[in-house]
Amino acid sequence: MSIVAKETIEVIAQSIGINNLSDDAALSLAPDVEYRMREIMQEAIKCMRHSRRTILTTDDVDGALNLRNVEPVYGFTSGGPLQFKRAIGHRGLFYIDDRDVDLKEVIEAPLPKAPLDTGVACHWLAIEGVQPAIPENAPVGVIAAPSNGNTYEQKDELPVDIKLPVKHVLSRELQLYFDKISELTLRKSDSALFKEALVSLATDSGLHPLVPYFTFFVADEVSRGLNDYSLLFALMRVVWSLLQNPHIHIEPYLHQLMPSVVTCLVSKKLGNRIADNHWELRDFTAKLVALICKRFGHVYNTLQTRLTKTLLNALLDPKRALTQHYGAIQGLAALGPNVVRLLILPNLEPYLRLLEPELLLEKQKNEMKRYEAWRVYGALLRAAGQGIYERLKIFPPLPSPPGHTIWKSKEKVVTAVPNKRKASMEPLEDEPALKKIATDGPIGSSASVTTLASSGENDAGQPSSSEKKTGNRVGKDGQKLKKSAILNQIWKDDLNSGHTLVTLLELLGEGILSFIPSPEMSLFL
Amino acid sequence: MENMQAVNNFVAAYLKKKGFKEAEQLLEDLQNKESAPIDFHNDPELAKFIHRFSQSEDDVARYQDGYSKLRSWTYSSLDLYKHELLRVLYPVFIHSFMDMVAKGHLQEARTFFNNFREDHELMHSRDLQKLEGVLSQSHLEEMEFARSLRQSKVNIKICQYSYDLLLQYLHKTQSTAMLGVINEHINFQVSSGQPSSISDDAEVVTLIGSCQDTANQINQKEIHWGLLEDSLEERLEKAGGLLSDSEKTEEENKEGDADDTKKRSVESGKQGASTKKLKKEKALNATAKSARPEASTTPAAPRVKAKLPLPLMSTEVEQSILEDLRNRVQLSSVLLPSVSFYTFLNTHNGLNCSSISHDGSLVAGGFSDSSLKVWDMAKLGQQGGSSILQAENDSTSSEHVVGPNGGKRSYTLFQGHSGPVHSATFSPLGDFILSSSADTTIRLWSTKLNANLVCYKGHNYPVWDVQFSPVGHYFASASHDRTARIWSMDRIQPLRIMAGHLSDVDCVQWHANCNYIATGSSDKTVRLWDVQNGECVRIFIGHRSMILSLAMSPDGRYMASGDEDGMIMMWDISSGRCITPLMGHTSCVWTVAFSCEGSLLASGSADCTVKLWDVTTSAKVPRNEEKSGNPNRLRLLKTLATKSTPVYSLQFSRRNLLFAAGALSKNL
């Protein structure tokens, strides 16, 4: 009836020297023994709970005995859980393996290593409810247990370090995947397989655990491979694809990605061969930066300001290389017309003054430098043009028919611009920026409008170098000056400019094909 | 009704035969009452007699037989009424068992118990474990649980038709043993109309004896759960309300505030000065406040006066708190908090508790080797995680060289207890720590002096929990001796002793207005006590196992409690009812915490997760549709998993950053 058998009671009685325990006594003692045992277990469980544990230990039982004012059972204290062994031949019978220990051996054994002292480590379990998959969120047991002195040398790097001896749970498949992707990125970035890989990165769910590894990979490779153009491009495409993936939270890793991305935008030198089209890489990265700002700008409101500050610093520092200026302009332009209007346009005039000597054949003898300068010039044109184009778009169309004079003036300007360009660009016939502008159609033409407008603005204030420049190039065309003056007014008067420019644009939008191409064509011809 | 009549006639005839006039009379009275709650309880003698009758005539086999028949009948009854009738089975079961034990038929009792225990395992496994050990009559007397069960009746709400069905059955089978048990131990509250919903069985879950009858009575008492008047939050709110461009409330607030300032400036110069400063900063507040979502959508709770003399707060402290309140992040279901996790490493299974100061700068751990260790995070982690590790490495290595005495540790070691430290708590300003230990004492430590200041002796058994009041100075303790006590820092004797729990008091928590404390116990109830007069003012019944953690909402309206099974219950303090159970954790809920504006509840558990719950939906919706009985309203917003690190403590900072702490345990 009781789980404690009568025989057990008898055995216990004998062990404490009572040999003549009657059967009846044993029988009635058995239930009471069971009850007392249960009582102690109940208290022991309380002790366990208050030690915030879910596994009962001998300490808890001792604590329970203590509560009942009973002498604790000695000899069972052990740090770890007890090792039970199954008795052979008896199911459900277990015993503790209690080996004989030679005292001499114990005394002579060298002192064991002192156990490590308790420590506290701190990490982000979640940032605004999203768990970053940093290694600290995985088991961190070994971090505080350095086996030798030099381990923390490594740890002193980025907060995320895949070299940490951390058991981050990463399935074998994911590891393979990561290895494959990094292999492709490093070696075969022009293969069709790489394209497939990018698609996979952009669409596959379940890649989230790999994000910290990819960010680290990108950061690492960018810092190492600044001379390898194709690698950098491949890496940026990987970042692009990762950003496209709707299944991963890349926000917590942005702070790691941004430096590498910005590096690819404004670095002085990307790739070491002349054939490397680093312009293209910069354009692509600019788009990437804009994408990041668009997606995460509202989450990290300092993101865009910090970025623009960096880019603007790069742009306004005359000591920086032209390639850096180009990257900065592209980056700013990609951030949208407002950024252009607020940051580029006010600085246009002093910057052009700087740029001018580089552009001219007689002042800059180095062909390469001049080419770069023209690149920058083209980027500026495009940025400004885009800015004004976008700005024009937001104004509501004016219902009244456009004034003929303005229309006329616009036409003149438009025709004047390519002429001017033609004149100025004759020395450099294969100017790619020009081609771009030409092909860009409305943007290109409005870009020229802006340049004119801005230079006109300068003109209104004082005779500036840029005005001189345009003046030189186009020739002393009085009519042109008048037009720029008109445009200047338009530009200054916000409301009026809105309406008039919209009207212009409307005209341009429809009429652009009819009359823009002809001068552009002529340019190409 | 006919059946009912038949039963009554039968009983009446029986009583007449035996000559029980009084009982007969009573039965007639009952018959006349009809649908009114039938209360056999009024006359315990009647039940006794019937019971004795059954005892004398039936042998033990009747119990087994009767119960198994009743059981199969219940299971085959109509679905609509089944769950009501099923509730009857459990009390019948345990009392049949105890009857058999009491009569000395131990063998039969054991077989009976084992035969049917499975049925109740799901709901009452812990009670069954306790009862299983009852093996003789003396155990029944000795064991608190069994005794209270025997002495009291179980209240079961049942609809008229179910009641009729039951009586009809008992009559038909003539199982007097069952009838006896039911009469003696069950108090039916018959209600006309439809059977109640399945979820509404909170009462029947906990059979806690005597308090069952008094619980309802106690829960009628009045409670002023509003916040303290003139609290900092209130002042800030007013300050914000002043300049926010909402129309009428603004003016009211203005007046109130003006009065307030006047009154207070008269009261004490010190405070007056602080309010002047406050006024200066109102302009600043306004910008911060206008960004806040409408905090005043909930009806403003009535403000209450503090029943305790409250300690004065220095102006600088007040300023810093106000600054924090102003910079508080407004959390909601869409804006979840950031969680900073402090992982204790190399604890060798010795960490019993942890505590985090209100600003998260200090972390304390209580260990089973009687030590209390405090880490200053500002010193450790100036540059985030990696440098912490570095600092730790430094300190450990240097310690190896210098030895344990002079070595520079990464923590401050407080030694003084002579038993495992079970709880630690920081004062609101972080300048004091209290720790409670199995050596029955509570010790006060100063974090400034790094020394033990006071040792409070009063409990006779291990002190499981100690908590500073929200204003500091006072603290409450909970102990194995079944009492909770209120202390103040300057006295070594307790100010109040709260006695009433039937088992260990496992956790204690202060109400936001300091006029009440809540205690959770192994008897599966949570009680609310009035600090002033030491009376129990609420009993919250519904948990199925030992209560491990408590939290009070900052507005004083709600309370959350977590238990051993992983269940969290949200209680409405004023009504004493459970608003909704929160199910999701699979193991002990060590800690629960409300965010500072009360919109989120965070819970930390032994299943290595921190869960975030939306309190606003849970607390407000069910009140509107209380009748429709929509049980599981509370939304689990997020589960944050740690890797094999059970979460021991959670703390929201005043700016609503969530701090969590736990010990990494490898063998989980």
pLDDT in tens, B607-635: 889 999 988 765 554 444 444 344 445 57
User: Which chain A positions have a beta carbon within 8 Å of B338's beta carbon?
Assistant: 124, 126-129
Q: Which two tokens stand for residue A65?
A: 């005995």
What pLDDT is attached to residue B373? 93
- The count of other CB atoms within 10 Å of the CB of residue B141 is 11
Instruction: Report the half-sphere exposure of B206 (CA within 13 A, side-chain side).
Output: 24
User: Which chain B positions have a beta carbon within 8 Å of A52's beta carbon?
Assistant: 351-353, 588, 590, 606, 646, 648, 663
Inform me whether the C-beta atom of residue B351 falls under 8 Å from chain A C-beta atoms: yes
Inform me whether the C-beta atom of residue B667 falls under 8 Å from chain A C-beta atoms: yes
The answer for B 588-617 residues in CB contact with A (under 8 A) is 588, 590, 606, 610, 612
What pLDDT is attached to residue B231? 66
More confident residue, B435 or B170: B435
Q: What percent of chain B has pLDDT over 90?
A: 26
User: Which chain A positions have a beta carbon within 8 Å of B349's beta carbon?
Assistant: 53, 57, 79
The identity of residue B37, as a single letter, is: P
A52 closest CB neighbour out of B353, B642, B667: B353
Say whether pLDDT at A101 is over 70: yes
Distance CA A522, CA B498 (A): 99
Q: Does A123 sit within 8 Å of B610, measured CB to CB?
A: no
More confident residue, B133 or B612: B612
Say whether pLDDT at A238 is over 90: no
Angle between helices A172-187 and A192-203 (to 10 degrees): 140
What pLDDT is attached to residue B549? 95
More confident residue, A465 or A132: A132
pLDDT band at B435 (very low <50, low <70, confident <90, very high): very high
Q: Does A114 sit within 8 Å of B588, measured CB to CB?
A: no
The phi and psi torsions of B60 (rounded to 5 degrees) equal: -65, -30
What pLDDT is attached to residue B27? 65
User: Which chain A positions have a beta carbon within 8 Å of B648's beta carbon?
Assistant: 52
- Tell me what the mean pLDDT of segment A99-109 comes to: 84
The 10s digit of each residue's pLDDT in A20-59 is 888 888 888 888 888 888 888 889 999 999 999 888 888 8
Task: Choose from B110, B113, B345 for mutation: most chain A CBs within 10 A.
Answer: B345
- E strands, B357-510, in order: 362-367, 371-376, 411-415, 421-426, 432-437, 441-446, 451-457, 463-468, 474-479, 483-488, 496-499, 505-510
Separation in Å, CA of B52 to nearest CA in chain A? 26
Say whether pLDDT at A175 is over 60: yes
Inform me whether the C-beta atom of residue B412 falls under 8 Å from chain A C-beta atoms: no
Task: Choose from A33, A52, A58 for mutation: most chain B CBs within 10 A.
Answer: A52
Distance CA B460, CA B482 (A): 10
User: Which chain B positions have a beta carbon within 8 Å of A32's beta carbon?
Assistant: 135-136, 139
Q: Which two tokens stand for residue B215?
A: 């619980």
The C-alpha angle B270, B271, B276, rounded to 5 degrees, equals: 100
Say whether pLDDT at B528 is over 90: yes
Q: Does B136 sit within 8 Å of A35, measured CB to CB?
A: yes
Note the ipTM here: 0.71
B461 closest CB neighbour out of A59, A67, A151: A67
User: Which chain B positions have a beta carbon within 8 Å of A65's beta carbon?
Assistant: none
Q: What percent of chain B has pLDDT over 70?
A: 71
Please give the mean pLDDT across all residues of chain A.
68
B384 closest CB neighbour out of A31, A32, A159: A159
**Residue in chain B lying closest to A299 (CA):** B335
Q: Does A155 sit within 8 Å of B610, measured CB to CB?
A: no
More confident residue, A395 or A284: A284
Q: Check: CB of residue A458 under 8 Å from CB of residue A432.
A: no
What global pTM score does this model have? 0.56
The 10s digit of each residue's pLDDT in A370-387 is 777 777 777 777 776 766
Distance CA B45, CA B457 (A): 46
Task: Choose from B105, B393, B397, B439 for mutation: most chain A CBs within 10 A.
Answer: B393
What pLDDT is attached to residue A487? 54
By mean pLDDT, which of A107-111, A166-170, A310-314 is the weakest?
A: A166-170
Q: Which two tokens stand for residue B353?
A: 């508790």
Q: Check: CB of residue B285 under 8 Å from CB of residue B236.
A: yes
What pLDDT is attached to residue B29? 65
pLDDT band at B195 (very low <50, low <70, confident <90, very high): low
Phi-psi region of B226 (alpha: psi -120 to 50; beta: other; left: phi over 0): beta
What pLDDT is attached to residue B287? 39
What pLDDT is attached to residue B662? 92
A136 closest CB neighbour out of B385, B587, B638: B385
Say whether pLDDT at A396 is over 70: no
Distance CA A501, CA A157 (A): 54
pLDDT band at A147 (very low <50, low <70, confident <90, very high): very low
pLDDT band at A522 (very low <50, low <70, confident <90, very high): very low
Distance CA A468, CA A488 (A): 16
Tell me the H-state helices in B403-527. Answer: none
| Greatest Cα-to-Cα distance within chain A, rounded to the nearest angstrom | 134
User: Which chain B positions have a beta carbon within 8 Å of A81's beta carbon?
Assistant: 667
The answer for B 302-321 residues in CB contact with A (under 8 A) is none
Smallest Cα–Cα separation from B422: which of B371, B361, B375, B472?
B371
Residues A31, A37, A41, A44, CA torsion sign? positive
Task: Choose from B142, B339, B343 for mutation: most chain A CBs within 10 A.
Answer: B343
Inform me whether the C-beta atom of residue B112 falls under 8 Å from chain A C-beta atoms: no
Beta bridge partners, B474, equal B488
Say whether pLDDT at B265 is over 60: no
What pLDDT is attached to residue B526? 92
Distance of CA B349 to the CA centre of its chain: 27
Distance CA A234, CA A238 (A): 6
What pLDDT is attached to residue B457? 93
- Tell me what the mean pLDDT of segment B341-350 comes to: 88
Smallest Cα–Cα separation from A117: which of A148, A145, A142, A155?
A145
Say whether pLDDT at A391 is over 80: no
Separation in Å, CA of B110 to nearest CA in chain A? 7
Residues in CB range of B566: below 8 A, 6 or more apart: B583, B584, B585, B586, B587, B588, B589, B605, B607
Residues in CB range of B421: below 8 A, 6 or more apart: B352, B353, B366, B367, B368, B370, B371, B372, B435, B436, B437
Rounded to whole angstroms, what are the CA distances from B221 to B17, B52, B321, B529, B626? Answer: 46, 38, 34, 11, 22
pLDDT band at A6 (very low <50, low <70, confident <90, very high): confident
pLDDT band at B589 (very low <50, low <70, confident <90, very high): very high
What pLDDT is attached to residue B480? 93
Query: In this structure, are strands B483-488 and B568-572 parallel, antiparallel, or unpaired?
Result: unpaired
User: Which chain A positions have a beta carbon within 8 Å of B390's beta carbon?
Assistant: 152, 155-156
Separation in Å, CA of B170 to nearest CA in chain A? 31
A141 closest CB neighbour out of B363, B400, B666: B666
Taking the CA atoms of chain B, what radius of gyration do you get in angstroms? Answer: 29
Cα distance from N-terminal residue to C-terminal residue, chain A: 111
pLDDT band at B652 (very low <50, low <70, confident <90, very high): very high
Beta bridge partners, B344, equal A120, B663
- Tell me what the mean pLDDT of segment B374-397 comes to: 52
B340 closest CB neighbour out of A67, A81, A124: A124
Q: Does A125 sit within 8 Å of B409, measured CB to CB?
A: no
